[in-house]
Every structure is written in structure tokens, then in C-alpha cells.
Chains A and B, each alone.
Chain A
Amino acid sequence: GKKQTTLGRFFTLP
């Protein structure tokens, strides 16, 4: 199955 990711792994939050 597929799992919903969060944006933290794609967009940097310095």
C-alpha cells in the first residue's frame, strides 16, 4: 500500500 508523506522531507524548514 501507499503511505501519505509530509512536506518536511521535500521542503526545507531551516
Chain B
Amino acid sequence: LFHARFEQAGLVDAIKDLIQDSDFHCRDSGIALRNMDNSQVAVVVILLEAGGFLPYHCDRRLNLGISLTSLTKIVHYAGDEATLALKANDNPDTFNLVLECLQTGCIIKYDIKSRDIDQEHLEIPKTDYAATITIPSAEFQRICRNLSQLLESVANEASEERIKFSSSGDIGSGSATLRHNSDLTGPIALTISLKYLVNFSKATALSYSVTLSLSSEVPQLVEYKVESGFARFYFAPQIGE
């Protein structure tokens, strides 16, 4: 039997534009998801430890193949106040989704067929980054959305005290600068697609702050800590020819 109740259903919304469907690996320690987007430039890794769920019960290893497109629609119409519960019994082909609105007591139940997802296993090596910078997640989202209205990619430059996001396109250029109190091994400058940063920043509601781990010529990491876990987004670097 598997049963997990989750209070941050907004997590689904944060990853739906990157991944259309995914295996959810359910273990007694918690739920994990690791998947690459279709263009193979971004990877989403989510870990939700058992302690973050009330209740959590998993007495055997289970892989649920879930359409995030469908899950998003279900969660979206439930509203922000709803909790989401996943249940599975001994039949691995279907699972139950239960949405509960705490304010009104309304309960919506679905029986969903588990999808057979042809998913490759990804090994992500440990990386030492030149800069690991923590900034308010709402500011990060505002900067990404604002610059992306007119421009396509953003250059990140970080020094001891400030991180600068600058961007240029046909209409001209723009930049945003933010103070930070993080440690750097040295100044850094790199370019990232704004479209993807805007996607990653949809996880803003999960956490007050976001941590950017940056080095030239290795995948960049954008991390949101959630209660008893994390949502990590990796993005492939742009490299000089």
C-alpha cells in the first residue's frame, strides 16, 4: 500500500512546461523524480522526503508513471488551498489521486491509469561551482519575467557583492543588479536562455529563496528548497565554438 498527502501541489505547476510525463519513484524514504526535457538542455530533479508528507506510507518500491499535463489540470482546478494525496494498492496499473479542499471539505477523487514511460536513468556528477548565490526567489522571478518580455537570453555576471543579469536583443538591452551575501571563488560570467529561467522560476511559491550555482562550461543549477526536500533545475551551458 502506498499513501502520501502533499500540501505543496504548486510544485506540479513548476515543472509541467519542462516535462510532459515522468516516473515518480516512491520508496519508504520518500518520492523522487528525475527527468530531462525534450530538448535535452534542462533536467528536473525533485526529492520529497517522507517527513514532508502527512501522512506518508509506502511498504514497497513503486514507480508510478504520471502524465504531468493531466496532473496539472487536476491540481489547477482544485485551487491553491487544496492538498493532494496519492494512493496506490497492490495493483500497479492504476493509482488514486485525491484532492481535498480544507476550507470547504470538498473531496475530489480520480482513478488514473499508470503510464508506461520509456525513461532513461540519469547520473548527475557532483560539481564544485565557482559561485553559489542565494537571492529572494520573488526577485529572481521578477527579473527573469521582466527581461524576457523583450529579450531572449541573459548573461549572468557575479562579483563579490552583486549579481548582474544583463540581456540584449533587436530592440536594445536591459539589465538587473541584485546584492547578495554569498561566497564566490572568483568573478564569473555566463549566458543562459531566459525562456528556461522563466520556467524554473515558476517554482517561486515553494520557497522564499533560490540558490544559483554557477560555473563556466558546466551545467548551471537553480535550486528551490522545499519542506523536507528540494526542486533542482539543471541547465546545459553555452560554450564558445
Residue A7 contacts which of B40, B238, B240 (CB distance < 8 angstroms)? B40
Within the complex, what minimum Cβ distance (angstroms) separates A5 from chain B?
5
Residue B234 contacts which of A3, A7, A8, A12 (CB distance < 8 angstroms)? A7
| B contact patch SS | loop
Q: Does B241 lie within 8 Å of A13, measured CB to CB? A: no
Looking at A4, A7, A10, A12, the one whose CB has the most chain B CB atoms below 10 A away is A7
Number of interface residues of B (CB under 8 A): 23
Residue A5 contacts which of B122, B124, B125, B236 (CB distance < 8 angstroms)? B236
Q: Does A7 lie within 8 Å of B191, measured CB to CB? A: no
Within the complex, what minimum Cβ distance (angstroms) separates A13 from chain B?
5
**Does any Cβ of A come within 8 Å of B219's Cβ?**
yes
Which residues on B sit within 8 Å (CB–CB) of A11? Answer: 36, 43, 122-125, 219, 234
Interface residues of B in 29-59 (CB under 8 A from A): 36, 39-43
Within the complex, what minimum Cβ distance (angstroms) separates A4 from chain B?
5
Residue A4 contacts which of B121, B124, B236 (CB distance < 8 angstroms)? B236
Residue B241 contacts which of A1, A6, A7 (CB distance < 8 angstroms)? A1
Looking at A2, A3, A12, A14, the one whose CB has the most chain B CB atoms below 10 A away is A2
Within the complex, what minimum Cβ distance (angstroms) separates A10 from chain B?
5
**Does any Cβ of A come within 8 Å of B171's Cβ?**
no
Interface residues of B in 190-241 (CB under 8 A from A): 191, 193, 218-219, 234, 236-241
Could you list which residues of chain A lie within 8 angstroms of chain B, going by C-beta atoms? 1-8, 10-14
Q: A11-B122, A14-B120 are in contact. List 18 more A-B contacts (CB 8 A).
A: A1-B240, A2-B191, A2-B240, A3-B239, A4-B236, A4-B238, A5-B236, A5-B237, A5-B238, A5-B239, A6-B236, A7-B219, A10-B125, A10-B236, A11-B36, A11-B43, A11-B219, A13-B120
